A and B are shown apart, each in its own frame.
Chain A
Amino acid sequence: MDLALDIGTWFLLLTGSFFLIITGLGLLRLPDLYTRIHAGGMADTLATLLIFVGLALQSGFSLVTVKLAFVVIFIFFTSPTASYALAQASFVAGLKPRLDGFGDSEDNKTSDDLGKGRD
């Protein structure tokens, strides 16, 4: 039983960390601010959920589990608000999302984009 729990925890923690790595990769790789917000959203949702469920398996059925659940719930309430604030602020400031020409150029056009946003 303990072994099964440990295996489950390891699986969940590793999957969560995998999604965190993809988040980091996405933050560097995607072309503009709006697409990068999507990448950041992964760390806030599934990665957090997997890691906290993995930790909850280790803590068993106790008050600690309840506290972990509260943390997840609070993150799920606050993170979309933060993402919205970021997207809304950049939209109001006049940063236009790039909607074309992605198919052939995934190389960094980001410095250009940031320059355009500041004009």
Chain B
Amino acid sequence: MRTASLFLVLLAVWLLLSGIYTPLLIGFGVVSCALVAFIARRMDVADREGHPIHLGPRIITYWFWLVVEIIKANVDVAKCVLMPKTYLRPSMFTTKATQKSDLGKVIYANSITLTPGTVTVDLDDDVVLVHALTTGSADGVKSGEMDRRVTELMREA
């Protein structure tokens, strides 16, 4: 099941990147995608972690929310760079990741890093060590909204 969806995703990406649609080349594409899917199955890497298709459309919603957060955070960091005396208040603190699976924790930690103004320095079990640039960006992580959204995305309460 997961192998079939991996094959379809690979094929879609191949078709979008190729752009030349002659029978011979499409045949090569189909064969190579099938080969990759077969090898991934043999290596047992097309699992919930390697090919997280079960997240489905929820991940897209999450990405849109994340992009909005990134834009807001970028404006904060830009202000901080231009006026460090007023805004620069670096801090380092730990917070809890409520996700159960490794994939959920990685999505959460990488989302923190992707938002400028906060960087994940260490991830140990469910404790995340975060370095924040301003008080505003620190409060953003401490409020736990991102954590709640990732947990919701993973369907792991």
| Contacts A39-B77, A99-B91; A80 near B84 (Cβ below 8 A) | no
Task: Give the interface size bracket for A toward B.
Answer: 35 or more
| Separation of A79 and B129 alpha carbons in the complex (Å) | 18
B121 to chain A, nearest CB (A): 5
Is A57 on the interface with B (CB-CB < 8 A)? Answer: no
User: Per-position contact with B for A9-46: 1 when CB-CB < 8 Å, else 0?
Assistant: 00000000001001101100111001101110110111
Task: Give the interface size bracket for B toward A.
Answer: 35 or more
| Contacts A22-B82, A91-B122; A80 near B77 (Cβ below 8 A) | no
- CB within 8 Å of A: which of B105-126? 109-111, 113-122
Residues of B within 8 Å of A23, CB to CB, are 81
A66 touches B119 (CB 8 A): no
| Separation of A26 and B18 alpha carbons in the complex (Å) | 39
Cβ-neighbour of A45 out of B84, B91, B92, B114 (below 8 A): B114
Is A103 on the interface with B (CB-CB < 8 A)? Answer: yes
Chain B residues in the interface with A (C-beta under 8 A):
13, 16-17, 19, 67, 70-71, 74, 77-78, 80-82, 84-85, 88-92, 109-111, 113-122, 129, 131, 133
Chain A residues in the interface with B (C-beta under 8 A):
19, 22-23, 25-26, 29-31, 34-35, 37-39, 41-42, 44-46, 49, 63, 66-67, 70, 76-77, 79-81, 83-84, 87-88, 91, 97-99, 102-104, 106
